[in-house]
Amino acid sequence: PVPVEAGDSAMYTPLLMHSEQVDVLERLDVVLRNISELRKEVEELRNSLQRLAAEIIGEVRSHLEETQKVTRRRRFPFPRERSDSTGSSSIYFTASSGTANTDDGESEGGYTTANAESDYDRESERESEEGEDEVSCETVRTARRDSLDLVSEDDAHLILDSSLEEGLGQLLQQADRLHSGDEQEKREGFQLLLNNKLAYADQKDFLWRLARAHSDMCEITEDPDERRSYASDGKEVIDIALQKWDQSAECHQWY
């Protein structure tokens, strides 16, 4: 209540009548209940979007893995025996035009061809595999970005970190396995890491393995210019790693 001057005497009157106060309180109570219900709905929606984003990433990863398996089976349907010949498409003539023994196929003239697969075919397969790896990585990154658009910024960071960490672990295991293999596997390991450089360029364990892969390429490459190029690129990679992790033994090992 507030005083109201009326002649020589003062009167106190309330700002709101009792019924009006009750009405205001009821309205405030309704507003608070609506806000509480809205918060619950937002939380449920956020949880649903998180699950949806995780399912999308899992489905994309499973699809890519299955596609790569099918591609490998299509490229290598059965083991092929190689001949001792140094030529990939050499032609062998038999002494008799009618009794020739064949390995890969016999022509009308009584001669056979060995190793029908040419150097061009092998190079095309290698380029196709590298292209598939690049498309796979870009598809995963696109799916991650699209799914993360559905959730809040804080939740997006949590999902992204978890997904990247899981993908990085699998990638590093595969890189270590290829590093322990023959020359062809080392080349595949180098290309695998190179294709994922944009996604994991800020990860210590990725960078020193990429530097190690450059070292592998220096060892198996005969061309002097290519060796210098691999050595220079590898040093650049490990310099970046040492700027952040100068106490890392692995980084210093491949410096």
Average pLDDT by stretches of 10, the chain with 255 residues: 50 65 85 89 86 84 77 54 43 41 44 46 55 55 55 50 71 90 91 86 86 90 90 87 78 63
* Bridge partners, 12 (sequence order): 3
Q: What pLDDT score was predicted for residue 17? A: 76
Q: Which of 111, 105, 109, 108 is nearest to 92 (CA)?
A: 111
CA distances from 17 to 4, 10, 23, 197 (A): 16, 19, 10, 71
Q: What pLDDT score was predicted for residue 208? A: 87
Entry pTM: 0.38
Q: What pLDDT score was predicted for residue 240? A: 86
The CA distance from 101 to 244, in Å, is 64
For the chain, the DSSP string reads: -EEEEETTEEEEE-SS-HHHHHHHHHHHHHHHHHHHHHHHHHHHHHHHHHHHHHHHHHHHHHHHHHHHHHHHHHH-SS--PPPS-S-SS-EEE-SSSSS---SS-B-TTSEEE-----HHHHHHHHHHHHHHHHHHHHHHHHHHHHHHTTS-HHHHHHHHHHHHHHHHHHHHHHHHHHHTS-HHHHHHHHHHHHHTHHHHTT-HHHHHHHHHHHHHHHHH---HHHHHHHHHHHHHHHHHHHHH-TT-HHHHHT-
